[in-house]
A and B are shown apart, each in its own frame.
Chain A
Amino acid sequence: MSLLPLSRGTRGTRAIPDSARLGPQPGEVIDRGRSVPFTWNGAAHSAHPGDTIASALAAAGVRVFSRSYKYHRPRGLLTADYLDPGAFLQVGDEPNVRGAHRLVEPGMEVSSQNTWPSLRFDVKAVNQLAGRFLATGFYYKTFIKPEPLWPLYEKVLRRFVHAGTITPEVGAAYYDHRYAHPDVVVAGGGPAGMAAALAAARGGASVMLVEENHHLGGHLRYGDTADLAALAELRAQVAGQPGIEVLTDSVVTGRFDDNWIPVVQRGLPGVTERLIKARAKTLIVAPGLIERPYVFAGNDLPGVMLSTAVRRLINLYAVKPGQRAVVLTANPDGDAAVADLARAGVEIAAVLDPRRGDGVRAAHGHGGLRAVETGTGQRIEADLLVTATGWTAPTSLLNQSGDRPIYDPAAARFLPDPRRMPDNVLAAGGIVGDGTTAQLVEHAEAVGREAARRATSGPTPVSVPELKPAAHPELFSAGTGGFVDFCEDVSAKDITTAVAEGYDSVELVKRYTTVTMGPTQGKLETVNAVALVAAATGKSIAETGTTTWRPVYSPVTLGALAGRPHEPVRHSPMQPWHQRHGATPLVAGQWIRPEHYGDPAAEVRAVRGGVGIIDVTPIGKLDLQGPDVPQLLNLLYVNKWSKLPIGRVRYGVMCAEDGVVLDDGVTGRLGEHHYLMSTTSSGAATVWEWVENWLQTAHPDWRVHVTPVTTAYASINIAGPRSRDLLSRLTDVDLSSDGFGYMNVRRGTVAGVAECVLWRIGFTGELSYEIHVPASYGLHVWEQLMASGADLGVAPFGVEAQRILRLEKGHVIVGQDTDGLTQGFTAGLDGLIKLDKTDFVGLPELRWQHQRDEHPHLVGLRPLDGSVVPPEASQILDRSGGIAGRVTSSRMSPTLGRAIGLAQIDRDLAAVGTHVTVRLPDGRDITAEITDAVHVDPEGERQRV
């Protein structure tokens, strides 16, 4: 086969003429005074403003719009509206555009989908010839075994089922989100929806009126002159009524708990789509009725259309849908279509009326309708077959509200069950019953008034007149085959085969055949599928029931859901300095932090040899005040807190109730009843909520006030043997060894900034001061430290250098050296955990862990070959090759000039001096020696000077 270029020979600059365009129609929506150029498969075309892609192409005589999903059968227009399964098209880089809904815009490049190499010659249509081999579950049955080959099959099959092409480029499209709080949302802008909205607004409610089409009006838009007059009157009233927000080209996509109602709004200037998250007090469901296709052999041939489709084409777009028509009509709307067709100059070859016993057995043709075979076997030449065989009530939003619609055989459709409707949901229009426009409006007005009453808690319920469904013959299938689901290419035979194979409930048939799973989501095909299952199982339609109608009501783009993403990021007051000085950013939770300023090893050496400063603002800080703070600390920490003197800080570890290490940090006592607690950066929010949980739910009588002050202070750690020299130049606080010893806290002025908190602690293992500066002055103090320490060689260091420094010192990072299973004694907290306390969080589990004495240990680790740095999470093997532990931290130590690490390891391999095997991710094994966790300065002499 050859890869023919698309539409070879048809490319040209002159637009194809509107051969099927009729003279002006009273309800037409096109602007004949202007023309809009676009292309269809490369060929130049012209539309009028108001034309959909499909109406413009139909006006140019185009009959085939696409190839079907599985068998690649040619497909034309069926419904000529949003749902049309024959008109899913590619527009530019956007696939699956609903061609019978999307308006033509100047320069649009439209092409057909599922056609390779071209619409007219489709190599995949060989599937059609092999149709009997592509029966129910064909792909599944044929390709699922042998299983190892499935990925290969999948690759090939995907070429056959693709639907349009997407671009990998990130587009400039803008998707918006907003919240709304209307009293009443009306889903559907036909006569009932408009009347309900008007009545609700007149009753004092704020109303959001949502219509899928580009204009309000529903079926009145393509009706007769009386319909158009009624429509003009309703539109004028809506336009003049305050309190109604009208959203056209928009859709209510679902109804969730407490009337949470997502609405997708399209066609806005500068915005591709907007997702409105509406919280309505009352929802009125008024989507009208959807005309149901009839199932018979050849029912998918181009030229077979619904009566509403031809009425839309003639009356809205002035398009002549065919030359010679057969009409199968079982209702007044079908009869009206006959009149429209005659007026449009279409030759009426025959009118077949099931109410008089007529029928259609089959449609014949190749690539398009040529002849209709009637119920009596008569063959009538025609290029158009119009069917009007009944209606489907789109009850999705009611089902999502908890309603279970009931099948009414006399009306041949499902109707809402008013007993199961929640108080905040009402229904109006065709979904409830039938009537004249006046009757529909009268009913809907009462529903609208009642909706406003419920939204505003009015006293007296409104009496709603009855709206009865009209009688209609039950017409689903001629029993001659044909398609049930045009999107998924599911035939009537597929349904009966599925039942015969034992899939005897409608839910199972759906999953097995994929019927109703396509883009129309069952709106055209569900009831026919149910009727076929019912017939095949010998049950009634009521007994068979429908499939579940879940959100979303119609497919939604990912862009609309994603909207404008809100992903908070947090910055310290020194961030501008870090950016100016070339810091490599590190994303740590929400925080943006400097990972390093170019050379983390040099930063480590600067700290060990002189002095460095690091921005540690993200460290969690909680201000604790009240007489019961010591009780709280004793409950939260595993160690004891009753006797912490004013001016001292203490290290503490928190475990959860399962004994697993939760967080750690130091807490200092600033005053009699005033403490400052620090937490890890990542644990700041968690610990705060956790502390509040204990206070509010377990000890509401304790007098403690907790205030998060993490970002009230810019926090700077000044570390290294020259840190005292540096800080003393900027503060009035006595920094002498006797005046301000290790693990003490002071308050004072730094660089002219009052009310700073200074802690003498040492995460790096060096003499160091952690200063907490009122945050607005953070940048000032940082710049003063850099300027004052220039002669001392002060260097900024980042998170990576700090990680190396603390690893050299053997300090644990919670969440790095511990995980969700690491209990306190595993983390090496033996000296800290006070099992003699009467209570603290996690006490029982830690007591039992201690008694069992079989837990893993946290140890130091040094590869014998000091040049090999095993990646973190490398496994440590036991003597039989099983997993005995893992490397939790691992770095090249600039201070020792060799690789060092921390590891969690089984207790019988944890003795210092033990040689263990470490398996690297590349499969190599290396030998490492277990050491003390502290690699540098085990006596702690450097930090106590």
Chain B
Amino acid sequence: MMLLPCPWCGPRNATEFRYVGEAGPRPDPGSATPEEWRRYLYMHANPCGPVRETWYHRAGCRRYLAVERDTATNEVFSVTDSASGAAR
């Protein structure tokens, strides 16, 4: 099981986290076309390689984390707090 280096709690088992998904911007709900909105809802790049994603440390600090990870190797490049940008 991979370890995810939580910026608050240190390295923790991945089972402590909920995988939220690939990180992406929310379109403007006032002007988004159905195509744009559904790309936001359903279309994910799912690359075999580096990806920016969101994880939630539900059994730890309970913070949402911005993670840069390589899905092929599970190498984690960076983990920061989504709200404060805090990292360590």
Contact = CB atoms under 8 A, between A and B. Distances in A.
Given A257-B1, A657-B41, A689-B18, A697 B82 contact: yes
A692 B64 contact: yes
20 contacts: A256-B2, A257-B3, A258-B1, A258-B2, A658-B41, A689-B56, A692-B56, A692-B62, A693-B64, A696-B63, A696-B64, A696-B81, A696-B83, A697-B64, A700-B82, A700-B83, A838-B29, A839-B29, A843-B29, A848-B34
Interface string B60-76: 00111000000000100
Contacts of A689: 18, 56, 58
A848 B41 CA distance: 15
A260 B14 CA distance: 11
A260 B37 contact: no
A693 B56 contact: yes
A846 to B, nearest CB: 10
Contacts of B2: 256-258, 260
Nearest to B40: A657
Q: Which 3 A-B pairs have the closest CB atoms?
A: A700-B83, A257-B2, A696-B64
Nearest to B85: A700
A398 to B, nearest CB: 17
A804 B17 CA distance: 38
A845 interface: yes
Contacts of B46: none
Contacts of B29: 838-839, 843-844
A428 B69 CA distance: 32
Contacts of A843: 29
A845 B62 contact: no
Nearest to B64: A696
Contacts of A260: 1-2, 13
Interface string B1-42: 111000000010100001010000010011010100100110
B85 to A, nearest CB: 9
Contacts of B83: 695-697, 700
Nearest to B73: A402
A698 interface: yes
Interface in A231-283: 256-258, 260, 279
Nearest to A698: B26
Contacts of B62: 692
A755 B36 CA distance: 49
Nearest to B26: A698
Interface string A692-736: 110111101000000000000000000000000000000000000
B4 to A, nearest CB: 9
Contacts of B26: 657, 698
A911 B31 CA distance: 34
Contacts of B18: 689
Max chain B Cβ within 10 angstroms of own Cβ: one of A257, A697, A848: A697
A839 B37 CA distance: 14
Max chain A Cβ within 10 angstroms of own Cβ: one of B29, B40, B41, B63: B29
A777 B80 CA distance: 42
A257 B58 CA distance: 21
A716 B56 CA distance: 33
B41 A693 contact: no
Nearest to B36: A844
Contacts of A848: 34
A614 to B, nearest CB: 30
Given A696-B82, A697-B54, A697-B83, A838 B20 contact: no
Max chain B Cβ within 10 angstroms of own Cβ: one of A257, A696, A697, A844: A844
A700 B63 CA distance: 12
B32 A844 contact: yes
B37 A844 contact: yes
Max chain A Cβ within 10 angstroms of own Cβ: one of B2, B20, B64: B64
B32 A693 contact: no
B56 to A, nearest CB: 6
A848 B35 CA distance: 12
Contacts of A697: 54, 64, 82-83
B2 to A, nearest CB: 4
Interface in A829-844: 838-839, 843-844
A838 B31 CA distance: 11
Contacts of B84: 700
A103 to B, nearest CB: 33
Max chain B Cβ within 10 angstroms of own Cβ: one of A696, A838, A848: A696
Given A697-B82, A700-B82, A700-B83, 12 more contacts: A257-B2, A257-B3, A692-B56, A692-B62, A696-B64, A697-B83, A700-B84, A839-B29, A839-B30, A843-B29, A844-B37, A845-B37
Contacts of B54: 697
Contacts of A257: 1-3, 74
A141 to B, nearest CB: 37
Contacts of B34: 844, 848
Nearest to B27: A844
Contacts of B37: 844-845
A700 B86 CA distance: 13
Nearest to A688: B62
A838 B30 CA distance: 7
Contacts of B3: 257-258, 279
A657 B64 CA distance: 18
Interface in A303-354: none
A279 B11 CA distance: 11
Given A658-B41, A689-B58, A838-B30, A256 B1 contact: yes
